[in-house]
């Protein structure tokens, strides 16, 4: 699964330019750099109406439009590429509401004694990249509030990620991003494969295990950590 990622870029204009998107309402010029984005939090998303792209914020954890309550989103943070058309929660979004999630690093955990060690994966040149994702909109039946939410798609790992985990998020090549957003479902499905480009990995601070902690020191080596106590498993 993909349970954490980062987006350290802070200039909305540069992010919007990279993804050829117009910032939606409510965006200021600057965003807070984020090093430990976790499920249930707001994430940056690029969606398209077929002609124009828009940069918006959505909740991570898909709430299908037919859901009776939003709690279902707590379970729908990752969707397996192999079964998108088999799951009612993902079938319509895959055919109608595909999107991009800007990212610069994602994290996985490897076994380490009685705990687990977080590992950061990024592109070899540290460039921004797009994670393939799906979105939906749910209307609260009591308040009529509209809640847009997103789920990340995972696939088999490439050689590098396989040394740590048996899944990885789908990373789209820049030239494939428009096809993912607006192409036919059959063509979009062909993009759901392990990333073939150059990547790098490094062990990072075990402070990442707490979703409440978010700071640049998360990317420091684990040897920089203060002593940790208790369970060191990730806490989404």
Supply the residues annotated as catalytic: 2, 108
Give the tokens for residue 95. 């055919």
The alpha carbon dihedral of 138, 151, 7, 205 has a sign of positive
Q: In what helix (H) or strand (E) does residue 22 lie, and over which residues does it extend? A: strand 22-23
Inter-CA distances, 64 with 44, 124, 147, 207, Å: 19, 35, 10, 32
Inter-CA distances, 218 with 63, 188, 202, Å: 30, 34, 12
122 vs 163: CA distance, rounded Å: 15
**What DSSP string describes 84-133?**
TTTSHHHHHHHHH-EEEEEESEEEEEEEETTEEEEEEEEETT---EEEEE
């Amino acid at each position: 699964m993909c349970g954490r990622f980062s987006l350290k870029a802070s200039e909305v204009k540069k992010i919007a330019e990279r993804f050829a998107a117009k910032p939606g309402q409510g965006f200021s010029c600057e965003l807070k750099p984020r090093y430990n984005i976790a499920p249930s939090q707001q994430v940056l998303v690029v969606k398209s109406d077929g002609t124009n792209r828009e940069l918006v914020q959505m909740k991570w954890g898909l709430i299908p439009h037919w859901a009776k309550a939003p709690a279902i989103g707590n379970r729908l943070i990752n969707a397996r590429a192999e079964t998108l058309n088999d799951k009612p929660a993902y079938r319509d979004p895959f055919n109608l509401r595909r999107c991009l999630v800007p990212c610069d690093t994602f994290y996985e955990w490897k076994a380490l004694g009685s705990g687990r060690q977080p590992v950061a994966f990024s592109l070899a040149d540290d460039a921004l990249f797009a994670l393939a994702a799906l979105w939906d909109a749910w209307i609260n039946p009591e308040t009529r509030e509209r809640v847009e939410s997103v789920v990340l798609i995972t696939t088999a790992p490439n050689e590098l990620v396989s040394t740590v985990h048996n899944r990885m998020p789908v990373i789209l090549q820049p030239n494939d991003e428009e096809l993912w957003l607006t192409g036919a479902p059959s063509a979009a499905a062909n993009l759901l494969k392990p990333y073939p480009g150059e990547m790098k990995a490094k062990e990072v601070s075990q402070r990442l295990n707490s979703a409440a902690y978010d700071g640049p020191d998360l990317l420091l080596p684990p040897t920089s950590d203060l002593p940790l106590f208790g369970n060191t498993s990730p806490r989404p």
